[in-house]
Amino acid sequence: MTDSSNPAESKRESLISELAEDIVQDAATIAEPDEDRLEQVDEMTAEARRRLSFEVSVLLNEAVTKLSPGRAYEERKETPQRTFQRFGVNFRLQHALMFVSVIILIITGMPLKFPELAISKFIIIDLLGGLQNSTLIHRVGAVGLIIVGVWHLFYITFSRDGRRDFFLMMPRPKDIKNFFQTLLYFFGRRPSPPKFGRFSFIEKFDYWAVYWGMVIMIGSGLIMWFKEWFPKYLFDIGREAHSDEGLLATLAIVIWHFYNVHFNPDVFPMSWVWWHGKLTEDEMKHHHPLEYAEIMESQSARIVEEKLKVADTEEATE
């Protein structure tokens, strides 16, 4: 080993020492503090701090804005959603009188359909103080319902809105088509539900169901009220019809109408249309796209007309 004059070995040793020197040099640069790199780290920390404080202040700002009613109201005022008047005051008052009457009628009427139930006896005897009171209250409700019926007949005859709506309420072949299209949509055979106008087939069904119910309930109710004027067999038929249609109407209201205006995920817990009668633009587009399109068309037509008129008058003045 002492004799290390082997040329290959000496070359290897020189290479190793070269590598070692390189490593030592690199290590020296890392170990010694580099002014430039320190500056870089400081800059990065400052940047992170700035961003963090910015994000937090934005978040806080948003939270304060959202939680402050005054600010939210102002914001909404700034960007008002366009609304469409669906039901006028007259129609909404009809609905209000109707539901007050119907609630009275159901409370005082249904116990007599199921007299053996404890709750029926509780309502009639304990709550209302006996049959004489409950039948009197039932007649008060009946007068309310009859007033609504007559009022509505006048409304659809003499009011412009009423006439238009009654005409639009008439069942058409399109409604049957829409019904089957809706079923196809339910079963996933259609990408979207059919497009409805002012009244969908569902709303038409509701309206005519109430129409039929009013005729049956008021007719049979009057026979029973003034039973002395009618033969007994007509009274029996009236009583059967009143009792059965009353149950059908009650169940239809509780199951169907309450689903549509209360429990439906779109409107839960309640749709306020009965109160303000308004629909938002989104609701219009979604539920009554054809009516929406019609309104838009007529509005743009009116605007065009007005502009033409202005142009005409300008021409005339010139």
Interface residues toward another protein, by CB under 8 A: 111-112, 115-116, 121, 124-125, 130-132, 134, 183, 185-188, 227-237, 239-241, 244-245, 247-248, 251-252, 255-256, 259, 265
| Phi, psi at 131, each rounded to 5° | -65, -35
One-letter amino acid of 57: S
The distance of closest approach from Cβ of residue 232 to another protein in the complex, given in angstroms and rounded to an integer, is: 3
Residue closer to another protein (CB basis): 73 or 114: 114
Residue closer to another protein (CB basis): 174 or 239: 239
The distance of closest approach from Cβ of residue 100 to another protein in the complex, given in angstroms and rounded to an integer, is: 24
The distance of closest approach from Cβ of residue 184 to another protein in the complex, given in angstroms and rounded to an integer, is: 11
Residue closer to another protein (CB basis): 31 or 118: 118
**Helix residue ranges per DSSP H, the chain:** 7-31, 35-67, 69-78, 89-113, 118-121, 131-158, 160-169, 173-186, 201-225, 232-251, 258, 273-276, 281-287, 289-317
Residue closer to another protein (CB basis): 190 or 198: 190
The distance of closest approach from Cβ of residue 224 to another protein in the complex, given in angstroms and rounded to an integer, is: 8
For residue 178, the number of C-alpha atoms closer than 13 Å in the C-beta half-sphere is 19
Residues β-bridged to residue 154: none
Paired tokens of 100: 């007050």
Residue closer to another protein (CB basis): 137 or 252: 252
Calpha distance 136→102 (Å, rounded): 15
The distance of closest approach from Cβ of residue 222 to another protein in the complex, given in angstroms and rounded to an integer, is: 15
Calpha distance 235→222 (Å, rounded): 10
Sequence-distant (≥ 6) Cβ neighbours of residue 66 within 8 angstroms: 72
Calpha distance 106→112 (Å, rounded): 10
The helix/strand count (H/E) of the chain reads as: 14, 2
The distance of closest approach from Cβ of residue 210 to another protein in the complex, given in angstroms and rounded to an integer, is: 13
Residue closer to another protein (CB basis): 124 or 155: 124
Residues β-bridged to residue 85: 278
Residue closer to another protein (CB basis): 100 or 125: 125
Residue closer to another protein (CB basis): 123 or 290: 123
The distance of closest approach from Cβ of residue 227 to another protein in the complex, given in angstroms and rounded to an integer, is: 7
3-state secondary structure 92-112: HHHHHHHHHHHHHHHHHHHHH
The distance of closest approach from Cβ of residue 71 to another protein in the complex, given in angstroms and rounded to an integer, is: 30
Calpha distance 13→11 (Å, rounded): 5
N-to-C CA span, the chain: 121
